[in-house]
Amino acid sequence: MAIKLGFQQQINVSVTKDDLVYFTDTLPFGGYNTADLDDLVLIGPILSVNRRSNLYSSNTEIFEVATSQLDLDLNIPIWQNSNNVPVDTDDFLLKINGVLNDPILGVNPFTITSGVITFTNPITASQTIEVQLLYTITVDDTNFVAPLSPVLNSDSFIMFKKNEIINMSGVKGYYAEVKFKNNSTEKTELFAVGSEIVQSSK
C-alpha cells in the first residue's frame, strides 16, 4: 500500500527515497506553531519524490470554460511535454472561481482518468477553473495504523527523518553554511548553537 502526500511548496532538497515520514498536529504557542514530540506518528518510508524538476513553466494553469461541459482535459502541451499531466486527484488542487473544490467533498466533486477531469455537475461558461500541480511524495504506509489523534489531514505538519539503517554517518563535506531565520514579530533569544566536526582528510 502507498499514500501520496501533496505540497504546494517545493519539497526539501535533502528528502530522498527511504527517508522516514512522520506527521503531527500543531498548536499556536508563543508566536509559533508547536508540537509535542510524543505526538509524532510514523507513516512509513518514502517510495518516490516528485519535485516536478522537468516543469519549466508555471505549475498553475487557468482554464476558461466556453460551454457547459462535464469534462476538462488537462493534457495541455506544457504539462504533457514535460510528463506533468496529473495522474490522480492527489497530484493537484482545483479551484472553481477562486474557491478550493475538494474531489470528494467539494461543491462539484470530480474524478480524473488519463488526465481528463470528469465533474459530477457540468461546469459552465461563467466559471473559471484553476488547477495547481502539487509537489508530491509517495510513502509506503503498509505498517501505518491511523491513531484516533492526531489525524492525518491537509492541516497536518509533515516531517522527515533520514533512515539510520541507510544513512549511518553524519553530513559529509569540507564546509557548511548555515542561515538562521526568524519570521516571528515577537522578541526571541538564541541561547546556543552547537555542532560536531570530525576531520576525515587533510
Q: Is 50 helix (H, G, I), strand (E, B) or coil?
A: strand
Q: Cα(66)–Cα(69) distance, rounded to whole angstroms?
A: 9
Q: Is the pTM of this model over 0.85?
A: no
- Domain residue extents for the chain: 1-53+135-202, 60-133
Q: Cα(117)–Cα(135) distance, rounded to whole angstroms?
A: 19
Q: Cα(59)–Cα(85) distance, rounded to whole angstroms?
A: 11
Show Cβ contacts of residue 44 under 8 Å, excluding neighbours closer than 6 positions.
20, 21, 139, 140, 141, 142, 143, 144
Alpha carbon of residue 170 to chain centroid = 26
For residue 73, the cross-strand partners are 116
Q: Cα(29)–Cα(188) distance, rounded to whole angstroms?
A: 13
Give the cell for residue 196. 560536531
pLDDT tens track of the chain, all 202 residues? 899 999 999 999 889 999 999 999 988 888 888 888 888 999 999 999 999 999 988 899 999 888 899 999 999 999 999 999 999 999 999 999 999 999 999 999 999 999 999 999 999 988 999 999 999 999 999 999 988 888 888 888 999 998 777 766 666 666 678 888 887 788 888 888 887 777 665 5
